[in-house]
Chain A
Amino acid sequence: MKLIKTLLGAAAIVAAASTAFAEGHGANPAIIFDLGGKFDKSFNEAAFTGAQRWAEETGGEFREIELSSEAQREQALRRFAEQGANPIVMTGFAFSSALETVAPDFPDTKFVIVDGYVDAPNVRVVAFSEHEGSYLVGVAAAMASESDVVGFVGGMDIPLIRKFACGYVQGVKSVNPDATVIQNMTGTTPAAWNDPVKGGELTRAQIAQGADVVYAAAGGTGVGVLQTAADEGIFSVGVDSNQNYLHPGSVLTSMLKRVDNAVYEAFTEGTMLSTGVVVMDTSTGGIDYAVDEYNADVFTDEIAAAVEAAKAGIIDGSIVVHNYESDNSCPVE
Chain B
Amino acid sequence: MDKMPRWADVILVPLINISLAFIAAGLVVMAIGQNPLDMMYYMVKGALGSSSGIGYTMYYATNFIFTGLAFAVAMHAKLFNIGGEGQAIMGGVGAAIVLLAVPWPHWTLALPFAILGAAALGAAWAAIPAYLQAKRGSHIVITTIMFNFIAAAIIGFLLNGWMKDPTTQNAETRNFGEGAHLPTFHEMLAPFGIEFSKSAPANFSFILALVCAFLVWILIWKTRLGYQIRAFGWSPSATAYAGISSVRVTIIAMLISGGLAGLLAINVVMGEQERLIKEFVEGAGFMGIAVALMGRNHPFGIVLAGLLFGMLNQGGFELLWEMPDISREMVLVIQALIIIFTGALDRMTRDPLEKLFIMMRNRREAA
Say yes or no: is A308 at the interface (Cβ < 8 Å to chain B).
Answer: no
Contact, CB under 8 Å: B327 / A66: yes
Question: Which A residue sits closest to B323, measured CB to CB?
Answer: A18
A312 at the interface (CB under 8 A from B): no
**Once the chains bind, are B169 and A79 in contact (CB under 8 Å)?**
no
Is the Cβ of B328 less than 8 Å from the Cβ of A189?
no
Q: Are A188 and B160 touching (Cβ within 8 A)? A: yes
A325, B167: Cα distance in complex, Å: 11
* Chain B residues with CB under 8 A of A188: 152-153, 156-157, 160
Q: Which residue of the partner chain, among A68, A71, A117, contacts B328 with CB atoms under 8 Å?
A: A68
Which residues of chain B have C-beta atoms less than 8 A from A63's C-beta? 324
Q: How far is the CB of B331 from chain A (nearest CB, A)?
A: 8
Taking CB atoms, residues of chain A closer than 8 Å to B327 are 66
Within 8 Å of chain B (Cβ to Cβ): is A1?
no
A160 surroundings in chain B (CB, below 8 A): 169
A contact residues, total (Cβ < 8 Å): 38
Give every chain A residue within 8 A of B221 (Cβ-Cβ): none
Residue A305 at the B interface, CB < 8 A?
no
Of the residues B152, B171, B278, B317, contact of A68 by C-beta under 8 Å: B317
Tell me which residues from 14 to 56 in chain A have a Cβ below 8 Å from any Cβ of chain B.
14-15, 18, 35, 37
Closest Cβ of chain B to A120, distance in Å, is 15
**B327–chain A nearest beta-carbon distance, Å:** 7
Interface string of B159-199 (1 = CB under 8 A from A): 01000000011111000000000000000000000000001
- Most A CB within 10 A of own CB, among B169, B272, B280: B169
Closest to A37 in B: B328
Majority secondary structure of chain B interface residues (helix, strand, loop or mixed): helix
Q: Say yes or no: is A70 at the interface (Cβ < 8 Å to chain B).
A: yes
Chain B residues whose CB sits within 8 angstroms of the CB of A79 once the complex forms:
321
How far is it, in angstroms, between the C-alpha of A14 and the C-alpha of B324 when the chains are bound? Answer: 14
A65 to B321, CA, bound (A): 7
- A158–B160 touching, CB < 8 Å: yes
Contact B317 A189 (CB under 8 A): no
* Residues of A with C-beta under 8 A to B171: 158
Contact yes or no, A11 B199, CB < 8 A: no
**In the complex, residue of chain A having the shortest beta-carbon distance to the beta carbon of B280:** A70
Q: Which residues of chain B come closer than 8 Å to A35, judged between CB atoms?
A: 279
Which chain B residue has the least Cβ–Cβ distance from A160? B169
Cross-chain contact of A78 among B199, B322, B328 (Cβ < 8 A): B199
A-contact 0/1 string along B305-338, CB 8 Å cutoff: 0000000010011001110100110010000000
**Shortest Cβ distance from B220 into chain A, in angstroms?**
30
List of A residues within 8 angstroms of B268 by Cβ: 70-71
Residue A104 at the B interface, CB < 8 A?
no
- Are B56 and A75 in contact, CB atoms less than 8 angstroms apart? yes
Mark A residues whose CB is within 8 Å of B: 7, 10-11, 14-15, 18, 35, 37, 63-66, 68-72, 74-75, 78-79, 93-94, 96-97, 116-117, 156-160, 187-191, 325
Closest 7 CB pairs of A and B: A188-B156, A11-B41, A66-B328, A189-B152, A189-B156, A78-B199, A14-B38
